[in-house]
Homo-oligomer: A and B are copies of this chain.
Amino acid sequence: MVKARQWILAKKATDLPTFEGSEPNFKLVEKDLPEPKEDELLVKPIYLSNDPAQRGWISTEADPLRLYLPPVKEGTPMHARGLCEIIESKSSKHSKGDIVFANCGWSEYAVVPASQCQPAPDLGNGMSRTLYLSAFGTTAMTAYFGLTEVAQITKDDIVVISGAAGATGSMCVQLAKKLIGCKKVIGIAGTDDKCKWVEKLGADICLNYKSPSFAEDFRKETPGPEGFANVYFDNVGGEILDLVMTRMARYGRIAACGAIANYNSTSDKATGIKNWFEVIQMRLQIKGFIVMDYLKDAPKATEILKNMHKEGKLEIEGGEHVVETKFEDIPKTWLLLFNGSNQGKLITQLK
C-alpha cells in the first residue's frame, strides 16, 4: 500500500482560492491509496499542468449540468492533468518507468485507469517533455483550433489577442503571424516586459492593459473603419472584452476562449459587458468554444506545430514558465495564474 499526500478541495471557492487561514479552500492530507487493479496504473506526477479552467471546477456556482467536465467534489483531490511516471502497471499497454499524461490530480501518487492515460514518449533532439504541456499541448491546440476553426482566420484579418503572454495567447500570436500571416496582430498583456516578449513572438504591437492610456492606445491601434479588428481571440473577458467590442469591424468574429478577469468572483460581482449593442450594430459573431470538441483533429494540429518548430517559427524560449515546487506548495504555484505573474505556460515541476 502506498501513502500519498494530497491537496484536497476543502471548500468550494467564491473568490480567490486560499490554502491557508481558518477556512482554506485546499487542505493538505495524507491518504492510503488502494492497490492498482487490472488495467490500472500507479503513477507519480512529475509535471503538473496549471490551467485557469481548473478554477471553474471548484466554483460554488458550478452546476454539473452546465460544466464541460465534472466539478471537483469537496473532500477529494483537486483535479489536474500531469506528466507522470508509471510506478506500477497492471496494463499490458504501459510499462513501469514510462511517462504518460494522466488525470493525476494534486496527489503525490495516483491510481488511474490505463485507458485514460496517453503515452508521452521522448521528443528527441533534446527537447523537454514539458513541450507536451506547452507548445505541443492542449493550450497550443486551443490556440490552433480557436483561430482556424472557431474564428476562421485568414491572412486578411486584423487580429486582437488578449492574455497574449499566457499559454494560449502566446501560441495564438505565433500562429496568427507565422502560420496564417495575418495583416496585423495586436497583443494585449499585463506588463511591459510581457509586451516586449509578445512582440518578439511576432505581434505587430502589444499593449499593456495596466497602462493608464491603454484604452486610448488601443483605439489608436484600431483606427476605424479600415483598422477595426476582424478577429478577437479572447482569453480574458471582462473590461478588455468590453473595450474590444467597440473596435471590432463589421461582421467581426470573436472566439470566446477564456474569461479569467472574472474567474475569481461570483457572477453577480463580475464585470459586466456593457457595450452589447456593438454585437448588433456591427453584426458580430461570437463563438464560445472548448478545445475538447476539436481534439479528434489534434494529430493534424500537432504535426503542423512540430513543423513550425522545425522551421524555427515556433519560439520555445520563454514559452514555458516552469516552477520547481515542493508538494506542499502546489496551490501557491497554481495561484500564480491569477496574479498575472506567469509568462507562457505555467508548469509545476514537482521536487
Tell me the A residues contacting B by CB distance below 8 Å: 56, 63, 65-68, 224-225, 228, 237-238, 241-242, 246, 256-259, 262-263, 267-268, 270-290, 293
Minimum Cβ distance to chain B for residue A342 (Å) = 20
What CA separation (Å) do A228 and B276 show in the bound complex? 23
B290 to A283, Cβ gap below 8 A?
yes
Cβ-defined contact, B286 with A280, below 8 A = no
A280 touching B257 in the complex, CB below 8 Å, given contacts A272-B272, A273-B272, A273-B273: yes
Dominant secondary structure of chain A at its interface with chain B: loop
Q: How far is the CA of A237 from the CA of B280 in the complex (A)?
A: 10
- CB contacts (< 8 Å) of A259 on chain B: these are 276-277, 280
Contact (Cβ within 8 A) B270 A280: no
The interface residues of chain B lying within 8 Å CB-to-CB of A256 are 276, 279-280
CB neighbours of A281 from chain B (8 A): 56, 66-68, 288, 290
Whether B66 pairs with A282 at a CB distance below 8 angstroms is yes
Min CB distance, A186 to chain B, in Å? Answer: 18
Contact partners of A228 in chain B: CB under 8 A: 65
In the complex the two chains form, is B283's CB within 8 Å of A287's CB? yes
A30 to chain B, nearest CB (A): 34
- Chain B residues closer than 8 Å to A276, beta-carbon distance: 237-238, 241, 256, 259, 262, 270, 273
Interface centre among A263, A280, A285 (most CB of B within 10 A): A280
* A–B Cβ pairs within 8 angstroms, 15 of them: A65-B228, A66-B278, A66-B281, A256-B280, A262-B277, A271-B272, A271-B274, A272-B273, A273-B276, A278-B288, A279-B288, A280-B289, A283-B290, A284-B288, A285-B287
A239 (CB) vs chain B CBs: closest residue:
B272
Chain B CB within 10 A, most for which of A225, A246, A273, A276: A276
A298 to chain B minimum Cβ distance, whole angstroms, is 18
A224 touches B66 (CB 8 A): yes
Distance A263 CA – B289 CA, assembled complex (angstroms): 30
Instruction: Tell whether, in the assembled complex, residue B282 and residue A288 are in contact, meaning their CB atoms are under 8 Å apart.
Output: yes
User: In the complex, which residues of chain B have a beta carbon less than 8 angstroms from the beta carbon of A279?
Assistant: 256, 286, 288
Cα–Cα, bound, A238→B290 (Å)? 25
Identify A280's interface contact among B238, B277, B288, CB under 8 A. B288
Q: Give Cα distance in the complex from A282 to B228, angstroms.
A: 28
* Chain B residue contacts of A277, Cβ below 8 A: 56, 237, 259, 262-263, 267
A330, chain B: closest CB distance, angstroms: 25
Assess whether B283 is in contact with A288, with CB atoms less than 8 Å apart. yes
Q: Which residues of B contact A263 (CB under 8 A)?
A: 277
State how many angstroms separate the Cβ of A207 from the closest Cβ of chain B.
21
A290 to B280, CA, bound (A): 7
Task: Give chain B residues whose Cβ lies under 8 Å from the Cβ of A67.
Answer: 281
Distance, CA A88 to CA B118, complexed state (A): 80
Residues of B within 8 A of A285 (CB): 285-288
Name A289's closest neighbour in chain B (CB-CB): B283
Q: How far is the CB of A221 from chain B (nearest CB, A)?
A: 15
Give the residues in chain B near A293, CB-CB below 8 Å.
283
Interchain CB contact (< 8 A) of A274 among B68, B272, B280 = B272
> Which B residues touch A66, using CB under 8 A?
224, 246, 278, 281-282
CB-defined contacts of A56 to chain B, threshold 8 Å? 277, 281
Most-contacted residue by chain B among A65, A275, A279, A290 (CB, 10 A): A279
Distance A273 CA – B267 CA, assembled complex (angstroms): 10
